[in-house]
Amino acid sequence: MPGTQLNNYDLVVEFSEDAFNDLLSAFFDTISPIGDILHTISGGVIPAGDPFVLTVSFDVPTDVPLPPGTRDTLDIRMTLGTNGSVGTLRFVARVDVNHTSLAGQQIDLVQLDLSTSGLLYTQVNLFGILNSTNGALNGPLNALNHIPLLPVPVNRTSSSPTEIIAADMRIIDDTSGSDLDDSALLLTFGGDAPGNRDGFTQGLVPAGDRGAIGVSFDWICNIIRPQIASGLSVPASDFAAPCHLNTTINLPGDHNPQLTALDLTLINGAIGVSASVGASDTGWNASATVGGSILIAIQNGNLVVTSNIADPQISVNLDWWVWLASAVVGAIIGGIIAGVVGAIIGAIVVPLVVWIASNIINGIIQNVANQIVNALRQLNLNVNIPAIGVNIVFQDINIDDVVIGTEVQFVDNAPIRSQGELTVYDGQRVDLDNGSVGSSSLTGADLAWTGVSPLGVLKTLCCDILARTGSTVFDLTRSQLYRLYYENGVTIPESELGTWSGGQFLPSDLVYAVETDEGRFSIVQVVDAQVIRPENAQDKTAAPSPSPARTTGRTAAAARIMAGNQNGFQQPTGLIVLRYRTFEKPLPRVSTVGGSVGVSPVFQAGTLVVGADVPVEKANFVPTVLSVTGQASTMNPGTWTVTNPVKNPKHATVRALTPGIQVHGYKWSINGDLLAGPEGSVKVDGKTVSYKISGDAIHVVHESASDLSFQVGVTAIAKDGTQHSVLTCVETGGETSVTSIATATWPVFQKTFLQTFGVIDP
């Protein structure tokens, strides 16, 4: 039954425990470093930048004392130091939703409550230094007050089915054998009421996946109904919930065509469409009913909507005199009526179902999907909270209600010390802290490439430790590197790095993590290898040719290394190309979030209809691409798009992030001019910019008719007197051209369909 899986919420976004590991690891690594807390409570014994491994459990713990009826908790545990060498900590805290407003925007802020009422249990054991339960860790965590998890922009008074009016969060502790624990972000849109949050007892995310988005079929229909009504030029009241035509609609054309029935339902995991069309003229009437299914699939991370149309069911009724006449001239009259009925089916019924499936629903699904993803990706911009960025990629889909599998990635902002690609010859060493390559005398080297191909070896040096990730994913965050198990004295054989085939190296692309001799974490990956023979090395400065699939700007680097190589290439010489990225240590610094306000299409149900609110001449029609045989692969003639200017906001909020700094105060400036007082105004290019400062954040706004760009500067003054500064470019006002997918009215679509395909033979 539709609605049961989502407990009558319109949209449910679920994240796995693994996804939350990334989110909270990034927070405690880059925004409020746990190392600073440990450094303080250990009396300075624990270094501020010590690594940690964080794990989150959605199970309500039973091994620690908690208030009766406790639920919606995160049980967070950390092992401290490389491979857990320093100690462990654990804390249990509630998740709640703060319904608030930030920088003029209504926000439902999902947060981890670390206040005295939300923090339920703490334990920290720093080996040989401190062992405390509900003691030493409480104060520092209480001082954080809360950790923002997901800020959701809302419009609480909206009646539009495309605007969120309320957000809630449920931490699902599945006590069944399936153990599908999830965190569920529960969204309600305009025109609906919140569902039953207590009804969630099992998550939607399949075991091994990281996220899922559940979409209510009734909510989809709330958006579809006004869109179809606008396309048919009838009031939305002609359709009853969820998607049922409750009247007869006259259609343009000969022989008095009418749409007599239209229903959208869920059938066996697909959206079913049933449409009936009638026609009549002197002495006869005919009707045709056709069904179809609308399938939603994932291709290359995008939602793709296709339709299948069943054979039409035809009924023809003739008046008595027509029957009598047919006895005399039956072939003539029968042929005429058959032709008319065929034209009705081929020119109206079939394209009508295609219009609903390929134009109306496809456009709506794409607009809604884009709106969901854009909203989630931009959650942390221009509000006074340091949330972590969220990326969502569609993976798979199943309709019950509609459940879309997703890959969820949280992106932190750990600074990068050094990165690039290095060409390393036999016998050379690499310093990952600065990207230097040299001989065995290179000071501070971390890795060495030794031996002779194909028996070369990449090995760590005495002060470095290495972890095998077992993966080819290079774009890992610093906090993800903390979780790996590191060993010293590691040697990686060339056969593990790749294989040779016909003189060409085929890299395995395996990724490794290294903790350098200076305590930084680095990602490394061998992306190419070559052997240069003396007969090919007459010109020492000539760079080797990389494998065809790996051709990049690295040949110049190879030439520089080769020019300085001392072996004269009297023997075959091997090389590897090493891709690397080294993160900076968690040092005291200041950075900012916010500053530029992105705009994206805001889809409203019943709008962006070509031939209704959008003139045909203002829309861009993109025909369906023909296959190599010259035939269209779909019965959809094409897609309409509309480009409109969107006003950029004239305001922005910038917040200072100060990991590792015990802040005494802040100094703010605009274009280098120090700001006096908590609020006021300054002139920028002759235009007035008003500002309001609230500690670590500043809100700026202007009323100029044109766009305005300026620099906002902040200096964080530490308690020890040191100062840390950063500049942020703020761009406000003006317009941005935004292109949106549009739908077409039935007359516009029918005309285009017939021009493209002609009358379909039933």
Q: Output the pLDDT for position 605.
A: 64
State the pLDDT at residue 739: 78
397 and 405 Cβ atoms separated by less than 8 Å: yes
Q: How does residue 367 score in pLDDT terms, banded at 50, 70 and 90?
A: low
For β-strands 146-153 and 609-610, DSSP reports them as unpaired
Residue 664 confidence (pLDDT) above 80: yes
Average pLDDT over residues 323-349: 51
Name which residue leads in pLDDT, 400 or 495: 495
217 compared with 198, residue with greater pLDDT: 198
Is residue 170 very low, low, confident or very high in pLDDT (cuts 50, 70, 90)? Answer: very high
The helix (H) or strand (E) run that includes residue 493 is strand 491-493
Cα–Cα distance measured from residue 542 to residue 555, given in angstroms and rounded to the nearest whole number: 9
pLDDT for the residue 688: 93
The mean pLDDT of the chain is 78
Q: DSSP for 331-346?
A: HHHHHHHHHHHHHHII
Looking at per-residue pLDDT, the higher value among 643 and 56 belongs to 56
List CB contacts of 307: < 8 A, sequence separation 6 or more: 273, 292, 293, 294, 295, 353, 354, 357, 358, 635
Asked whether residue 62 carries a pLDDT value surpassing 90, the answer given is yes
Tell me, what's the pLDDT at 338? 47
pLDDT of residue 728: 84
pLDDT 10s digits, 736-762:
777 777 888 888 888 888 888 776 555
* Residue 250 reports pLDDT greater than 60: yes
Residue 166 or 732, more confident = 166
Predicted confidence at residue 551, as pLDDT, reads 41
- Would you place residue 563 in the very low, low, confident or very high pLDDT band (cuts 50, 70, 90)? very low
- Give the pLDDT of residue 273: 80
**Which token pair is 679?**
């609020």
Residues with Cβ within 8 Å of residue 13, at least 6 apart in sequence: 184, 185, 187, 211, 212, 213, 214, 372, 376
Percent of the chain residues past pLDDT 90, beyond the cut: 28
The per-residue pLDDT for range 41-55, each reduced to its tens digit, is 888 888 877 889 999
Q: What is the pLDDT of residue 646?
A: 77
- The pLDDT tens digits for 96-139 are 999 988 766 788 888 999 999 999 999 999 988 899 999 999 99
pLDDT for the residue numbered 300? 54
Share of the chain above pLDDT 70, in %: 73
Where residue 693 falls among pLDDT bands split at 50, 70, 90?
very high
Of 158, 213, 302, 273, the residue nearest 604 (C-alpha):
158
Return all residues near 499 (Cβ < 8 A) that are at least 6 apart.
505, 506, 508
Residue 719 has pLDDT above 90, yes or no: no
- Answer whether residue 543 shows pLDDT above 90: no
- Three-state SS at 25: helix
Q: Compute, in degrees rounded to 10, the torsion defined by CA atoms 536, 538, 543, 544.
A: 10
Q: Three-state DSSP class for 213?
A: strand
Q: Reply yes or no on whether the pLDDT at 538 is more than 50.
A: no
pLDDT score at 436? 92
pLDDT of residue 47: 81
pLDDT digits (tens, 9 = 90+) for 294-314: 666 555 555 555 666 666 565
User: Tell me, what's the pLDDT at 548?
Assistant: 43
**Confidence at residue 615, expressed as pLDDT on a 0 to 100 scale:** 93
Cα 115 to Cα 249: distance, rounded to the nearest angstrom: 60
Looking at residue 175, what is its pLDDT?
Answer: 85
pLDDT grade, residue 569 (50/70/90)? very low
Residue-wise pLDDT tens digits, 666-686? 999 999 999 988 999 999 988
In angstroms, the CA 486 to CA 260 distance is: 70
Where does the pLDDT of residue 57 fall: very low under 50, low under 70, confident under 90, or very high at 90 and above? very high
315 vs 558, more confident: 315
Q: Give the pLDDT of residue 503.
A: 84
Which of 151-165, 294-308, 366-380, 664-678 shows the highest mean pLDDT?
664-678
Q: Judge whether residue 383 has pLDDT over 80.
A: no
Q: What is the predicted pLDDT for the residue at 568?
A: 45
Provide the pLDDT confidence category of residue 541 given band limits of 50, 70 and 90. Answer: very low
Cα 395 from chain centre: 11
Mind listing the pLDDT tens digit for each residue in 453-472? 788 999 999 889 999 999 99
